Amino acid sequence: MAVTSLISTAKQRLKGGVNQALNTLGYRLVRADTLDRLARQSSPDDTAGRLAASPNGDAKPRNLSLLPAANAPPAMCTAHAPRFDPQKSPSQLADKIVAFQQNGVTVISTNPEKAAMFRETEQFDRDVSNRHSAWDWAGNSVAPYTKDLATGLPSPALIDYLHALFSGGDFDAFFRGVLGCPAKVANVRLVRSKPHLTAGVGPQEWHSDGCPAGVIRGVLYLCDVDAQTGPFQYRDANHREHTVLGKTGDLLVFDATRLPHRGSPPTHKTRSAIDLVFMPRMPDEEMTIMVVGMNHWPADPFFVKLPKERPADAEDALAAGRRSASLY
Amino acid sequence: MDTELETVLPVYIVGDSHSLPYRNMVFRERWTGAWVMARTKYIPGATAREFYNPDTGEFHPDFIAFLEYEGLVRNGRATHLSMDDVDFAIAKAAGQAVRPPLIMITIGEIDVRGPILQLLKDSHDFVPPFATTLPLLDKPLVPWDLIDEAIEARLGPFIAGLDQLVKAGFKRVYVQSVVPPTRQEARIRELQNYDCPVSVRTKLVQAFNWKLAQKVRSVNLFMIDRWSDLTEGDLLRPEFDFDGVHLPPKGARLLLETLIDHAIDSRGLVANHPRYELYYRMACGLDPFQPAKPNAA
């Protein structure tokens, strides 16, 4: 073994010495098989197509493979929020921040009179078809998927109320606590669940939302919600099922990706609520409330353009077009 | 003056000569009124078999060149999912939302017309494993197993390539079905140097598409097909019989509209999670390009 190693070292030194000497004359020793390999590489066959000239004139092999890349939602959407310490950051909603960080869900009471008023004054006059479809927004299908849900767009009065509510110091501290940054509202829509005894579809089925990082959901009850009104349900990390009953004005805030959840199908009473999507806001950015119908969140948070609403009279033409389109 | 800027929705169409009828095509789609623009690349002689080499993991050089030219790939990575500061700066300069691109691949017609049709020519027919209105001719039959094997051999590498595309982050990829063949027997003689009845040729394309649809679906992608609109009695409608090989642009537009109809309802896939992660880090005052340590409870 030692002899082989000695011979190998001597050969290397000899080759190195000869190369050094030849180098001064502009030559170099190259093994025959290496030369063959180099000659093959420079031949004008299909390998030539894999060589691309670099700016300095050298040829380098072109990469014809694609590397794997993931585009999956995170396991939890609030990963960058520091662990909240109520002693260091006193807040009216400190216990709610702690509850959210522990459980991924919390319930905050808001003005019940205002909520009851909006239940009566807001218009739940739409189905769940997506009239705000946009290429830059993730959202529901164009066609409605159920008749058990009615939706509506919030009135200017409701938008003003929500703007004031979420801009207030308590909620500002709350979002900084649960997200680690301020929040804005990426969507607000009215949802009314009609009583039915059939199995729920869409949001009434167990699901996780696949929200992007920093995106959390909210549901503001506009009525008292008991077991017959289709309360919010979620499963914790141990797969235990929890039912969240509530009073008019209660706001549930939850990590819709971390917690499998559903709005259970109301069996006897109608549930009226406001569906909210919160997303991170840059520290120097103003609080905004976006209204984007049946969409969820923008494709790219850096470039957000509000989708336009498709006129209602375009629906029939669209339906006709859809019928003629089919995949194999 | 503050004017609203309108951008187009690009659909990247790449493959054999069936990508050509889409060249320079623009139209307003019916769902949002956006302009759709076809960005095309014709790869001469592109076949399903040579689209991707499963042994080396390499794609056809022209396919990668197209993705690179369009800015969809840089250094072997999908740029739309990049968390690299260079790609971030490029996106910022472009000033538009970064979303997974819509891509359609046109491939397979040469595979059908080349080696597979050779098994049948004017001398044989076959019985496919699905219902068809096309007649069975009084000719010796080639067993379906042989046809199936020949199609498999061509489609195997292509589907492996699609799977790699999906793994690389291209999840909004569509495959155009092979279009119904011409009824002009003389044109086929000119192209193939042999005769083959239109019913046999058409049935073979049906069989190829039947398998293609299943295999494309197996990698969570979709095949675009408007067979019933392009044919009459399962044979190509004369108004779509253009040059004996390709659809006219009006036929291609039907297929592109079908892609749009599907894509508008598949927007669960548009969320760009890597860019949300960068955004969230920035909002939290963290360095977006340095992975942060999760520290929540």
Tell me which chain A residues have a C-beta less than 8 angstroms from the C-beta of B171: 71
Structural domains in chain A (count) = 2
| Domain co-membership, A8 together with A60 | yes
Residues in chain B: 297
Chain A: residue whose CA lies nearest to B61: A64
- pLDDT, tens digit, for every residue of B221-230? 999 999 999 9
Residue A61 sits in the same domain as residue A197:
no
Minimum-distance CB partner of B164 among A50, A66, A210: A66
Query: Do A173 and A28 share a structural domain?
Result: no
Element containing residue B54 per DSSP (H, E): none
In this structure, are A183 and A313 located in the same domain? Answer: yes
**Which of A276, A270, A227, A221 minimizes the C-alpha distance to A250?**
A221
Q: Both A129 and A250 in a single domain?
A: yes
**Cα dihedral value A143, A149, A150, A154, nearest 10:** -100
Q: Is residue A318 part of a domain?
A: yes
**Residue among B84, B239, B267, B255 nearest B171 (CA):** B267
Q: What is the DSSP string of B93-111?
A: HHTS---PPEEEEE--HHH
Domain annotation covers residue A88: no
CA distance B76 to chain A (A): 5
Question: Does A292 fall in a domain?
Answer: yes
Q: Give B232-286 pLDDT, tens digit per residue.
A: 999 999 999 989 999 999 999 999 999 999 999 988 889 999 999 999 999 999 9
Task: Note whether B277 contacts A: Cβ–Cβ < 8 A.
Answer: yes
- Using DSSP's 3-state secondary structure scheme, residue A114 falls into helix
Q: DSSP label at A298?
A: E
For B54, the closest chain A residue by CA position comes to A65
Q: Residue B175: in which H helix or E strand, if any?
A: strand B173-176
Whether B294 shows a pLDDT value over 60: the answer reads: no
Cβ pair B61:A281 closer than 8 A:
no
Q: Tell me, yes or no, whether A181 and A258 share the same domain.
A: yes
- Name beta bridge partners: B45: none
Who wins on pLDDT, A34 or B178?
B178
| B194/chain A closest Cα distance in angstroms | 31
Tell me the CA distances in angstroms from B140 to A254, B112, B126, B143, B185, one per residue in order: 67, 20, 8, 10, 20
Question: In which residue are the tokens 């969409």 written?
Answer: A295
Mean pLDDT of A147-163: 96
List CB contacts of B259: < 8 A, sequence separation 6 or more. Answer: B11, B102, B104, B174, B224
Residues of A in contact with B32 (CB under 8 A): 133-135, 307-308, 310
Question: A60 lies in a domain?
Answer: yes
A156 and A270 co-located in one domain:
yes
> Domain boundary at A55, A70, A85, which?
A70
Same domain, A17 and A156: no
B34 touches chain A (CB under 8 A): yes
Chain B residue whose CA is closest to A46: B61
Are A151 and A292 within one domain?
yes
Interface of B with A in 243-272 (CB under 8 A): 257-258, 261-262, 264-265, 267-268, 270-272
Residue type at A113? E
In CATH terms, the fold of domain B3-283 is Rossmann fold (3.40.50)
Q: Which residue of B58, B92, B262 is in closest CB contact with A327?
A: B262
With 0.90 as the threshold, say if the pTM is over it: no
Q: Which domain holds residue A11?
A: 2-70
| φ, ψ for residue B52, nearest 5 deg | -150, 145
A302 at B interface, C-beta within 8 A: yes
Q: Is the pLDDT of residue B297 over 50?
A: no
Partners of B41 in the β-ladder:
B14
Q: How many CA atoms lie within 13 A of A92 on its CB side?
A: 8
Candidate from A2-11, A163-172, A318-327 with smallest mean pLDDT: A318-327
Q: Would you kindly state where each structural domain of chain B is located, as residue ranges?
A: 3-283
* Alpha carbon A70 to its chain's center: 13
Q: Which residues contact B248 (CB under 8 A, 6 or more apart)?
A: B21, B239, B240, B242
In a domain, A81, yes or no: no
Structure tokens at A7: 């011979």
Helix (H) or strand (E) holding A176: helix A169-179
pLDDT digits (tens, 9 = 90+) for A304-319: 999 988 877 665 555 5
> Averaged over A36-53, what is the pLDDT?
45
**Contact yes or no for A299 and B271 at CB 8 A:** yes
Q: Note whether A117 and A203 are same-domain residues.
A: yes
* Domain-located, residue A112: yes
Partner A contacted by B74 (CB < 8 A):
no
Quote the CA–CA distance of B44 and A270 in Å, as a whole number.
62
Q: Which residues contact A298 (CB under 8 A, 6 or more apart)?
A: A136, A137, A138, A186, A304, A305, B97
pLDDT reported for residue A56: 54
Rounded-to-integer distance, Cα B56 and Cα A64, Å = 9
Go through chain A and tell me how many residues it has: 328
How far apart, in whole angstroms, are the C-alpha atoms of residue A136 and residue A297? 9
Q: pLDDT band at residue A45, thresholds of 50, 70 and 90?
A: very low
Chain A: residue nearest B100 by CA? A299
- Of A254, A244, A181, nearest to A211 by C-alpha is A254
Residue B1's Cβ-count burial label (10 Å; 0-12, 13-18, 19+) is exposed
Biggest CA pair distance of chain B: 76
Residue A97 has pLDDT above 50, yes or no: yes
A102 and A64 within one domain: no
Is A240 part of any domain? yes
**Closest by alpha carbon to A263, among A202, A175, A203, A327?**
A203
Q: What distance in Å separates the CA atoms of residue A68 and residue B171, rounded to the nearest whole number? A: 12
Which CATH number fits the domain that encloses residue A100?
2.60.120.620
3-class SS of residue B154: helix
Question: B13-68 pLDDT, tens per residue?
Answer: 999 999 999 999 999 999 999 999 999 999 999 999 999 999 999 999 999 999 99
Pick from A201, A217, A223, A207: nearest CA to A268: A223
Asked whether residue A40 carries a pLDDT value surpassing 50, the answer given is no
Task: For residue A130, tell me if it sits in a domain.
Answer: yes
Which among B197, B225, B199 has a CA at the least distance from the CA of B210?
B225
Instruction: Give B146's contacts (C-beta < 8 A, 6+ positions apart).
Output: B119
Which pLDDT value is given to residue A89? 82
Task: Determine how many CB atoms are found less than 10 A away from the CB of residue A243.
Answer: 12
What is d(CA B88, CA A78) in angstroms, rounded to the nearest whole number? 22
Kindly state whether residues A168 and A130 are assigned to the same domain.
yes
pLDDT over threshold 90, residue A179:
yes
Question: B223 in helix, strand or coil?
Answer: strand
Residues 122-161 of B with CB under 8 A from A: none
A310, closest residue in chain B (CA to CA): B32
- Give me the phi and psi of B213, to 5 degrees please: -60, -45
